[in-house]
């Protein structure tokens, strides 16, 4: 096992989901530099604290990833440092060195939980050769 996981690839499905979420932005890789005073799963509070200490501003958006039969965006926040670069200050459970991040030009966190956005990959054929998409063939049996 590698010490660090590769960041998610920018697939056509991730690009399609990104257009549905915010057509004004493109997904980009953001370096993870988690800070000692930042907690896992607290990205909004973490970034707010870093802005108070070091300046810059909060950049809301979505972490993008693709599983075998869906692409998903989870609402998230990273730090826009005073020099303009984006940095993920929140430690993750895994050891990714970069995340795939879609900035959102409009939406900001208001304290409420935000549902993840998903795109089903309808054109993934089942491995059994039925010609039926995996998620409605053997994909159902795996649930
Ligand atoms: Zn099947």
Closest alpha carbon to 51 in 62, 63, 38: 38
Tell me the per-residue pLDDT of 112-133, one tens digit each, with 9 for 90 and over. Answer: 999 999 998 766 788 898 888 7
The alpha carbon of 49 and the centre of ligand 1 are apart by a number of angstroms equal to 49
Q: Check pLDDT > 50 for residue 49.
A: yes
Q: Check pLDDT > 90 for residue 55.
A: yes
**Cβ-count burial of 68 within 10 angstroms (0-12 exposed, 13-18 middle, 19+ buried)?**
exposed
Q: Check pLDDT > 50 for residue 1.
A: no
Rounded alpha-carbon distances, angstroms, from residue 56 to 47, 88, 104: 10, 13, 17
Measured from the Cβ of residue 128, the count of other Cβ atoms closer than 10 Å reads: 10
pTM of the complete model: 0.81
Neighbours of ion ligand 1 (CB under 5 A): 126, 128, 130, 137-138
């Amino acid at each position: 096992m590698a010490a660090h996981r590769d960041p998610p690839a920018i697939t056509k499905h991730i690009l399609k989901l990104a257009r549905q979420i915010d057509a004004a932005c493109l997904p980009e890789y953001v370096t993870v530099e988690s800070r000692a005073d930042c907690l896992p799963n607290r990205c909004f509070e973490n970034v707010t604290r870093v802005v108070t200490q070091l300046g810059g501003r909060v950049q809301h958006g979505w972490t993008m990833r693709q599983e075998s039969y869906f692409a998903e965006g989870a609402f998230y926040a990273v730090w826009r440092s005073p020099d303009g670069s984006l940095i993920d200050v929140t430690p993750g459970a895994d050891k990714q060195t970069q995340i795939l991040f879609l900035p959102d030009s409009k939406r900001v966190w208001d304290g409420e939980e935000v549902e993840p956005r998903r795109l089903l990959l309808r054109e993934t054929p089942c491995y059994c050769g039925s010609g039926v998409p995996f998620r409605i063939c053997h994909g159902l049996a795996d649930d």
